Structure 1
Amino acid sequence: MSASSVPPSAAQEDLVRQAGRALARHGLVHAYGHCSVRLDEGHFLVSPAKPLGLVADGDICTVVPIDGPLPDGVLGEVRIHREIYRRRPEVGGVVRSMPPRVMTLGTARITPKPRHGFGSYFAPQPPLWDDPQLLRNDEQAAALAEQMGRARAIVMRGNGAVTAGASLEEAVVLTWYLEDAARVEFEARAAGIADAGVILGETEVAQRATWSGAILERMWAYLTSEKT
C-alpha cells in the first residue's frame, strides 16, 4: 500500500467478505469470482483469492493500487476491476461473477433485453465481450473496460459477467438483477414468446430503473441474509 492511501477500515473489509459470501449463497459465483470496493481515488480493496463462499471473517482482503502492478497473490483478472475504476470515478464497487443463465446466453452471443423491471437497469442490453478466454494481461482488461463504457454490466462470452455500481452493495444487487434478466430472456426464448414479448421502451426504462423506495437496501438485505 502506498503512503498516500488510507488503510481499509474493518467495516470495508467486512463488506467485501459479506458481499462475496452473498454472491456464493445465491449461485452467482462458485470456485471462481471476486469482488471489490473502492477505497479512494487511487486504491481499491479486493476479496481474498479463494472461493467466495469459503471466505471467513478473518480472511485478509488486499489493497490494490489503481496505477501500478497487481500485488502478489492477487488473481489475474482483478485487472478488470482496476481498469474500470481507472476509467469511471463514479464506480464504487465491482463484481466479477459466473451467473448460470448469463453464462448460457453468453455462449450464444446473447445478452438479455429489458423485458421486465430488473432488466431495465441494463437497457438497451449489456454489451458482449466476444472472447471466452481468461483476461490475464493489462491490454485485454483495458479493452474490456473500454467496451463496457458506462454500462452497468458486460457479459463475457461463455465466461460470466462483470457488474459495476456506485457501491459494492449496488454491484452485488446488479449481479442478481442481471441473472434474473437472463432467466427471463432464456425462458421467453425457450417458450417461443420472445418475439411476441414487449421490450421496455426508453420512457419505461427511465421510470423503472430506480433505486428509490429502498429498492437497493431491501435486495441487499435479502442477498446477505443467512436465512435465504
Structure 2
Amino acid sequence: MSGQPIASQAQQRQVRMAARALGRAGLAHAYGHCSLRLDAEYFLVCAARPMGLIGVGEPGTVVPVHGPLPDGVLGEVRIHQQLYRRRADLGAVIRSMPAQVMALSCAGLTPLPRHGMGSYFQPSIPLWDDVQLLRDDAQASALAELFGQGKALAMRGNGAIVAGDSLVEALTLTWYLEDAARIELQLQAAGLAERGPLLDAQACAQRATRGGRIYERMWEYLTAGDPEASDTVFE
C-alpha cells in the first residue's frame, strides 16, 4: 500500500463547497457527508459536522479505503469505504437526506425513469429496506453490494447514497435524484402514476448525456454564492 496522500487545497475546497451546496439546496440537514477519492487507497471526507455549517478552510479527513476509520470520522463513512473498494470508477460519494426521496422510500418506493433527470439512474435505484443506522462493516458491505453498478440507492426513511466519477457528477445526480422523487410523488398523489410513461433503457441511455456542460452547470448553480467559489476548485 502506498503512503497516505495529503489532500491538496483545491481538493479540500471542492469537498467543502459540495458539502455546503448540499446544505443550501436542502439536500442535507444535520446529517450527511460527502467524499472525494484521492487515489486507489485513500479518500477525503468532509468534516464531521452539519455540511451546511462547514466553515471556510475547515479541513476534511483523509480516510483509508481499507482499514479502520480514523478517530473523529462518522461511522457511516464505512459506506464510502465499501463503495470505493468495489468500484474503481467512482471518484466521489455523497450521503444525503433529500426530503422527497425520504418520503417515497417510506412507502417502499424509489423514483422511476419518467423524465430527463430520472434517466441517469440505470439500471434502477435500489431500496435499502432497513431504517437502522449503518454502524458496522457487515451492514456497509451489504449495502454496497445492493448498490451494485448504478449511481444511486435510497435508504428507507433514511436518505440516499449517490456516487459518481467526480464530486461535480455526484452533486448533480443528488439533485437529479430528488427531482425524480418529486415527480414520482406528485404523480402518485394525483393518481397518475400508472398512466405516466416510463423511459426504457435505450431512451435513458440517449437522454443521460454528459455533453453541454450538464454537470458543470449544475455545480455552478448549486455552489453559487459559496464563500470559496471564487477560488480555483479544480486542478
Q: 1:119-148 CA distances to partner (integer Å, 9 max, x unpaired)?
A: 001134300000000000000000000010
Instruction: Say if 2:67 is the partner of 1:71.
Output: no
| Alignment of structure 1 residues 56-67 onto 2, 5 Å | 56-67=55-66
Instruction: Say if 2:230 is the partner of 1:219.
Output: no
Instruction: Say if 2:197 is the partner of 1:198.
Output: yes
Q: 1:78-100 CA distances to partner (integer Å, 9 max, x unpaired)?
A: 00000000000000000000000
Instruction: Say if 2:162 is the partner of 1:163.
Output: yes
Who is 1:127 aligned against? 126
Amino acid at match of 1:155: A
Amino acid at match of 2:223: T
Matched residues in 2 for 1:213 and 1:3: separation? 37
User: Quick check: 2:2–2:41 contact (8 Å CA) kept in 1?
Assistant: no
User: Quick check: 1:113–1:123 contact (8 Å CA) kept in 2?
Assistant: no
Higher RCO (Cα < 8 Å, 6 or more apart): 2
Alignment identity in percent?
Answer: 59
Matched residues in 1 for 2:76 and 2:162: separation? 14
Q: Which runs of 4+ in 1 moved over 4 A?
A: none
User: Quick check: 2:119–2:199 contact (8 Å CA) kept in 1?
Assistant: yes
1:210 Cα shift?
Answer: 1.1
- TM-score, normalized by length of structure 1? 0.97
Q: 1:185-226 CA distances to partner (integer Å, 9 max, x unpaired)?
A: 000111111100010112211100111111111111111112
Structure 2 stretches lacking a partner, 5+ long = 227-235
Who is 1:139 aligned against? 138
Which secondary structure state, in structure 1, belongs to the residue aligned with residue 17 of structure 2? Answer: helix
Which secondary structure state, in structure 2, belongs to the residue aligned with residue 77 of structure 1? Answer: helix
Matched residues in 2 for 1:132 and 1:9: separation? 36
Matched residues in 1 for 2:193 and 2:57: separation? 47
User: Quick check: 1:5–1:40 contact (8 Å CA) kept in 2?
Assistant: no
Amino acid at match of 2:170: A
Mean CA deviation greater in 199-208 or 33-42: 199-208
Pairwise CA RMSD of aligned residues? 1.1
Who is 1:36 aligned against? 35
User: Quick check: 1:113–1:124 contact (8 Å CA) kept in 2?
Assistant: no
1:59 Cα shift?
Answer: 1.2
Who is 1:96 aligned against? 95
Matched residues in 2 for 1:67 and 1:204: separation? 38
Matched residues in 1 for 2:207 and 2:57: separation? 39
Who is 1:46 aligned against? 45
Matched residues in 2 for 1:93 and 1:179: separation? 18
Matched residues in 2 for 1:130 and 1:107: separation? 9
